[in-house]
Amino acid sequence: MSNTEKELQNLVNICEDAREFYTDAIDQTKDPEMKQLFRNMADVRKGVIVDLRTHMRQKDMDIEEPSETFGGRVNKFLGENVAKWSDKTDKALITYLEEAEDRCLHSFQDISNDNDVPNDTRALVSQELETLQKTHDYMKELKEAMKAA
């Protein structure tokens, strides 16, 4: 497996972590608007995963089933348990989801700036980064709004 394949697979894994975390958050919140938000965010991650895997197939790269990253497991565990023990479940979920968004964003930024990655792959990653930047910013604003309330 080439370095580019490993890096793309890592991005798939990071997006899968976030998608699963959003999916779990749907079950933890009681707020219908939050449920819809979390569904939308999970769908965005699924779209990014599909795009990355399609690119990998087109380049005849090895594609592995997504696997959970260590950081994803830790964040998911903390987020789930803090949300369960908190009297402000949505606020706790938003905090951990925004942190997951942040890690995801940094990973995509690293690849989009890596000159060892082929130009077409960097272009795709940069395009996906734009989408993920918007979701990150939205979650950050929501976190700040909840904190101020």
What are 5-44's pLDDT values in tens digits?
999 999 999 999 889 889 888 888 889 999 999 999 999 9
* Inter-axis angle of helices 32-58 and 119-148, nearest 10: 170
Domain positions in the chain: 3-148
What is the pTM assigned to this prediction? 0.84
Superfamily of structural domain 3-148: Ferritin, core subunit, four-helix bundle (1.20.1260.10)
For 62-73, what is the mean pLDDT? 59
Q: 28-36: list long-range contacts, CB under 8 Å, 24+ apart.
A: 28/80, 28/83, 28/84, 28/89, 28/93, 29/89, 29/90, 29/93, 30/89, 31/90, 34/90, 34/93
| Encoded tokens for 99 | 């942190």
Q: Is the pLDDT of residue 1 over 90?
A: no
Which token pair is 82? 């803090």
